Chain A
Amino acid sequence: MIEVKNLVRTFKSGDRTIKPVNDVSFELEQGTLASIVGKSGSGKSTLLSLLGALDKPTSGDVVVNGVSLASMPDGKLTNYRRRDIGFVFQQFNLIPNLSAVDNVMLPMEFSGMRKAARAERARQLLEQVQLDPDKHVRRINRLSGGEQQRVAIARALANEPKLILADEPTGNLDEQTGEHIIELLSTLSRDHNTTILVVTHDRALANKTDRRFRLQQGRLTEEPVRTRATAALTG
């Protein structure tokens, strides 16, 4: 379970103080698929960084399964990111001179998984995100944007994290692949009890999540959505 308590993040810009995240509080049960929508610059990515322990809040706290991130030293935050978090960045942030499979293997290498095991899992994950097998060993800079997006998603799934934070995960994908990724994320949250929080402009994706939040000028409000059960009944 994730509890976000009065989270505030401010930045100085000259004489002005900007608050991209302003007193945000919410809770997510384990296995929830949630989305955050909002205009560009509304603080969505900043909020994801705070939840993923990439950044520290100005005030407030994020509590994951009863453990406060605010009081965690840097070394434990690294462990938390490695073990419990899967990131899908908007710009993919893959290592350009490594192959697709090597990129997916990286988080598993940092976790100490044996080489053969991580190679096998990386291959399976790349198949799950529908990357052609002949492109598994191709360097990242020789893959299209959509292919890189799929590799980034596979990398986020590598260590079977409890929480996946995805920034526009379907932004660079065609409709059919996007649908597949939405289905994959939905399956993960449902069958593997993985909490998934996606930042998206994709209405189709937002409509398929269990909970939908809107971030406006740093403040978070929840919008009503159809549940997955309702959506299944009404089509």
Chain B
Amino acid sequence: MSVLARSVGNAFRNKVRTAAVVAVLAVAIGLALAMLVANQAVTGKVAELNASVGTVLTVNPAGGQGFEGGGEPLTSAQATTAAAVPNVSSVVGTKALRLRNAAEIAAEAASGRTGQGGPGGQSATSVTTSLTAAVDAGTLGNRNQASTGTTGSTASGTGTTAAAPAFSLPITATGIGAEVDSTGKALQLTQGTGLGNYTAASTGALLGTTLAEKNGLKVGSTFTIQEKTFTVQGLFDAGTAFGNNALYVTLPTAQTLAALPDELSTMIVTVNSMENVDAAKTALQAALGSGKADVTQGQRNLETAVSSLDSVKNISFIAFVAALGTAGLIILLIMVMLVRERRREIGVLKAIGAPNRTIGLQFVLEALVLVALGSVVGAAVASLASGGIASALISSSSSTTAATGQRGGPGGFPGGQGGPLGGASQLLTSVTASASPGVIAAGIAAVFGVAIIGALVPALLTARIRPIEVLRGE
């Protein structure tokens, strides 16, 4: 019988005790693995958030936003200035156009109604298209049009009130310098391909799914803007009815259509990390001048989300280390107990010539057998419980943050998006902790490492046992 076989046999010498030890170890190991899985999931999510919208700044002309307000338009030179600001990793310019159906404009002209004037200084970029908006104007659209004075419906000189033709909403066309939407998020293409080089003029366009459906278009179909033919190269899903009533072309194309080759509506500035967003925002505002550009951080509450996730990450890591330490301590105590219980046996083995290393190895292997059994059960526990534990940690963390926000303390945010954290809480709950084999294997390796350390102490204690001390009792 080898040392290993003897160790396995010893591990099952007292089956009831072995079952109890394995159960206790399984709880500690399971908890350690679940915490590791939660930690990995949250770490991944934090990295994802840091790399995405949480680091995006939006630059608008000072006093203007979209088709509202006034001020001076942004220019390509300002984009170059923004790109040179420290910690700025990319600058994407956009040029927004307001497309109106050519047939409707012709009808309005025939009926003598005023055309689209639009508020603010950007109405000059309104252009005609063969497309029809996918969103009905409805009450809100007609009220908005009325308030901006663009729907004069009274026929002049007749003294009678003519029935106004059906009004349709304009379509927003955005020229972009990269394959992102106007908030900086990557476009979710459902069909076709992107536009390739977004910094060159092109006749390709990406259409929102509902806009394409409304106009009976698919990938490869054509339509016109300013009587120029464009081909649908891809369809995207923005996730909202308004967002899908839009199209994207390359930035130079939009600037050409608007006949404003150097002008930008907005700049989407990506900062290299979440930590540098505040500093970059200040530097960007200073570089562009507060009278010429407004720099805003789109989803400020993401900082809170990341902060909460960081807390969860730290808590789960500490809990992992604590559970790992507990497993090691359990092994240490169990093995100390076994060594004390088997002092006589150890003495006999030494009396018949067993070297200290053989006896020590026998106890370490016995401990590893118990840990292996505990790890199997613990891994099963972790695979079942890690999702729940991660959710519990995250919900606990987010509710704590929410409570802080409601008290108006530092870091709190006003309501408005369905809760104190708004969209951030959705990001928090979207963390999915799945026990991947790699993470479980890494966790079990750590458990075995700690178990070896825990078992070495009692194994070394066996070297101090002198055979005569335990045999003298006879």
Contact = CB atoms under 8 A, between A and B. Distances in A.
A111 interface: yes
A155 B352 contact: yes
A158 to B, nearest CB: 8
B353 to A, nearest CB: 2
Contacts of A67: none
A87 B352 CA distance: 7
B471 A109 contact: no
Interface stretch (B2-10, B136-144, B378-386): B2-10
Interface stretch (A58-66, A92-100, A191-199): A92-100
B2 A95 contact: no
Contacts of B471: 49, 54, 89, 93
B65 to A, nearest CB: 81
Contacts of A97: 9-10, 13
Contacts of B6: 98
Interface stretch (A23-31, A78-86, A203-211, A225-233): A78-86
Interface residues of B, number: 23
Interface in A143-167: 155, 159
B468 interface: yes
A110 B10 contact: no
A107 B468 contact: no
B468 A55 contact: yes
B474 interface: yes
Contacts of A115: 2
B150 to A, nearest CB: 95
A83 B9 contact: no
Interface string B2-30: 10001001100100000000000000000
A109 B348 contact: no
Interface in B351-367: 351-356, 358
Interface in B100-159: none
Interface string B450-468: 0000000000000000011
Given A93-B348, A98-B6, A115-B2, A110 B354 contact: yes
The interface centre, meaning the residue of A79, A97, A159 with most chain B CB atoms within 10 A of its CB, is A97
Given A49-B471, A54-B468, A110-B358, A81 B353 contact: yes
B350 interface: yes
Contact of A105 (B1, B350, B351): B1
A91 interface: yes
Contacts of B278: none
Nearest to A94: B348
Contacts of A79: 353
Contact of B351 (A81, A83, A90, A111): A81
Contacts of A78: 350, 353-356
B329 interface: no
Given A93-B348, A97-B13, A107 B353 contact: yes
Given A78-B353, A93-B348, 13 more contacts: A49-B468, A49-B471, A79-B353, A81-B350, A82-B352, A90-B474, A91-B474, A93-B344, A95-B348, A97-B13, A105-B1, A110-B354, A115-B2
Closest 10 CB pairs of A and B: A82-B353, A55-B468, A93-B348, A54-B468, A91-B474, A81-B353, A102-B1, A110-B353, A107-B352, A54-B467
20 contacts: A52-B351, A54-B468, A54-B471, A78-B350, A81-B353, A90-B474, A91-B474, A93-B344, A93-B471, A93-B474, A95-B348, A95-B349, A97-B9, A97-B13, A98-B1, A98-B9, A107-B353, A109-B1, A110-B352, A159-B353
